[in-house]
Every structure is written in structure tokens, then in C-alpha cells.
């Protein structure tokens, strides 16, 4: 059932992208803001309490609803899984930026590509040349595909395997991701206020959310990297993972980017201009400089990885049925 729910959700999103996802994002922002306003005193322990109160009731509610629907009829539980996957997973959450940048670079419209990348990242990209735009876009795509697709799939399958309903696993991963980002931003703002002498609060409220997401990411990010090795260049992927990942500022993201670069045979990372100064970044990968052709190869790598996971899940399903 998990396999068919994943296939149905992927097909549904390709055929009918969710246009109202921004409204869901707005509702979730308001939900998270409630806990920030009532618990944020700049201390880690209050951030932990807020995280648990924000996540556990929703998680318990989804598990209970999945169980009730399954008791009523398994098809209802399956449809609920498809709905939650449709809301939490999908390529269309980022692929339009990637596709438009790829087309702009292919048509030598560098300024347009820079503008699109700026919108996607939220960081000015007008100083980047064509190779740097392609390189940073590939990096963003590898991270986005993991966090919007592969990470969700891992937690969906794990919760399905232990009988808690896959929908709860998908929700846990995406909610943990959302809380980490929002409360990281909150901590950054608090630290800036301290530097400006406007606030004497600390910036530790989001530290538990960061730690919790690290736990949620530990297995999925390594499974994604291993999949890149299987469907890409195995030797280069393993080499880059072992020797380069730890040099990235975020070693966990470094695993994903180094393995993706090795699988594609492209060079990622490396310094880029930002604010008139070079932003120092370690080199990841081996091979050639990034360009529009490597962007097309990135799409192929991601889709091969999806197909590999679906085939693997199919084999596990058949094994459990035959056993």
C-alpha cells in the first residue's frame, strides 16, 4: 500500500501541482508563530517544550486518524496517505525555478537566470557568472530534491513499516524541517538584536529544533547519498563522500552535495562572489565545471534515484507478501 500511495502522490503532483500550497504555508507559519510568541524567552529548554507541543499533538492526531480510517476501510487510509504525501512531497515545490534557470542559461539569458536564482535562494546572485549560476543551481536542486522528496519518502516508509501510518512520518519530517528553519531565523534575529543593543535575550530558542532535525536527517541524507552512488558514478561518489563532505560548513549537507557532485562528475562548491567579496567555499566533486548540460544531468540523477527507490520498495513489498 505504501508503494502505491507514493506512486499516486507523485503522479498527482505531476498532473496537478498544488496551487494552494502557499496558503498551507501561511497557515503553518501562523501555527508555528503561536508557539514562538508564547514560549520564546531565548532559552533552549523553552524551545524544546515548544517543539514537543507543536509536533506531538499533530503527530498523535494523524496516527489516530490513520488508524480510524484503516478500521473503517483500508482504501480510506490509503487515500489519506496519498493526500498527506501530496501536501508534503513533490518536485514542483522547486522544479519550476530549476527549469526556468536551465532554459535561461541555455538561451544565454544570464541576467534572467541570475534573477530567478535570487528569487529561489533569497540571496542576491547578480555577481555570479554563467558557470557559477549553474553550479549553485545544481547545489540547490540536490538539497531541495532530498528535502522535498527523498527525506519525506524515508520517514513515510519507516512509519508505515512500524504500523503508525506513513502519513505521520511524512508530516514529522516536513514539520521538523519547517520548525528548524523558522526558529533558526528567529535565533538569528535575536542575535542581531543583541549586537545592536536592542535586546538582551539569547538566541538558543531554536537549538532543540536544529538538533531534532539533525536526528530526522541523519538516516535519510545517507540513504540519498548512497542512492546517488548506485545510480551515478559509484567510485567518484564514494570518494567525494569520504574525502570532501566534512569540509563543507554543514557536514550533513556536505554529504549530499559531495555525493551528488561525484555521481554527476561535476565540480561544485568553490568560492563565489557575494557582496563584492569572495565567499569562501570548499571544492566538492571531481570532473568538469558546471553548465546547462550538467543541469540536465542533475534532473536525470534525481529521477533515476526516485525510480530506484520505488523498485526497491516494490521488491520489499513482494518479499513480505511471499514470506
Query: For 245-285, how does the pLDDT look when each residue is reduced to its tens digit (9 = 90+)?
Result: 999 999 999 999 999 999 999 999 999 998 878 889 999 99
Tens-digit pLDDT profile for residues 30-80 = 887 888 777 777 778 888 888 999 999 999 999 999 999 999 999 999 999
Domain residue spans of the chain: 2-322
| Nine-digit cell string for 54 | 507543536
Percent of the chain at pLDDT above 90? 61
One-character DSSP codes across 21-85: HHHHHHHHHHHHHHHHHHH-SS-HHHHHHHHHHHHHHHHHHHHHHHHHHHHH-HHHHHHHHHHHH
Range list of β-strands (E), the chain? 268-269, 272-274, 277-279, 283-284
Cβ neighbours around 202 below 10 Å, total: 15
18-43 tens-digit pLDDT: 655 565 677 777 887 888 777 777 77
Say if pTM beats, i.e. exceeds, 0.85.
Answer: yes
Q: How many CB atoms lie within 10 A of CB 87?
A: 18
The confidence score (pLDDT) of residue 41 equals 73
Closest CA to 207 of 42, 28, 39: 42
Q: For residues 179 and 212, what is the distance between their CA atoms, to the nearest angstrom?
A: 10
Angle CA 79–11–3, to nearest 5: 55
- The C-alpha cell at 20 is 494552494
Which residues lie below 8 Å from residue 319, measured CB to CB, with a gap of 6+? none
Q: Which three cell numbers stand for residue 151?
A: 527525506
Segment (H or E) for 139: helix 130-145
Amino acid at each position: 500500500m505504501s508503494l502505491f500511495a507514493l506512486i499516486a502522490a507523485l503522479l498527482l503532483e505531476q498532473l496537478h501541482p498544488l496551487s494552494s500550497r502557499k496558503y498551507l504555508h501561511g497557515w503553518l507559519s501562523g501555527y508555528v508563530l503561536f508557539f514562538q510568541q508564547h514560549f520564546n524567552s531565548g532559552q533552549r529548554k523553552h524551545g524544546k517544550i515548544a517543539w514537543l507541543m507543536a509536533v506531538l499533538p499533530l503527530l498523535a492526531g494523524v496516527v489516530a486518524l490513520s488508524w480510524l480510517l484503516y478500521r473503517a476501510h483500508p482504501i480510506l487510509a490509503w487515500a489519506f496517505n496519498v493526500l498527506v504525501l501530496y501536501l508534503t512531497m513533490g518536485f514542483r515545490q522547486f522544479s519550476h525555478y530549476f527549469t526556468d534557470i536551465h532554459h535561461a542559461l541555455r538561451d544565454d539569458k544570464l541576467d534572467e537566470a541570475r534573477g530567478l536564482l535570487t528569487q529561489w535562494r533569497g540571496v542576491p546572485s547578480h555577481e555570479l557568472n554563467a558557470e557559477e549560476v549553474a553550479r549553485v543551481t545544481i547545489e540547490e536542486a540536490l538539497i531541495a530534491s532530498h528535502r522535498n522528496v527523498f527525506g519525506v519518502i524515508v520517514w513515510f516508509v519507516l512509519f508505515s513499516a512500524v504500523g503508525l501510518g506513513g502519513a505521520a512520518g511524512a508530516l514529522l519530517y516536513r514539520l521538523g524541517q519547517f520548525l528548524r528553519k523558522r526558529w533558526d531565523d528567529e535565533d538569528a534575529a535575536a542575535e542581531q538584536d543583541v549586537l545592536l543593543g536592542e535586546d538582551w535575550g539569547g538566541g538558543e530558542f531554536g537549538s532543540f529544533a536544529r538538533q531534532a532535525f539533525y536526528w530526522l536527517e541523519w538516516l535519510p541524507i545517507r540513504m540519498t547519498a548512497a542512492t546517488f552512488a548506485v545510480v551515478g558514478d559509484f567510485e567518484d561518489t564514494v570518494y567525494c563522500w569520504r574525502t570532501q563532505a566534512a569540509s563543507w560548513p554543514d557536514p550533513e549537507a556536505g554529504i549530499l552535495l559531495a555525493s551528488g557532485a561525484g555521481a554527476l562528475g561535476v565540480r561544485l562548491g568553490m568560492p563565489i562572489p557575494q557582496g563584492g567579496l569572495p565567499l569562501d567555499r570548499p571544492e566538492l566533486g571531481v570532473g568538469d565545471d558546471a553548465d546547462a548540460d550538467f543541469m540536465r544531468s542533475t534532473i536525470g540523477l534525481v529521477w533515476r534515484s526516485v525510480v530506484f527507490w520505488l523498485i526497491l520498495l516494490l521488491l520489499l513489498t513482494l518479499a513480505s507478501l511471499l514470506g
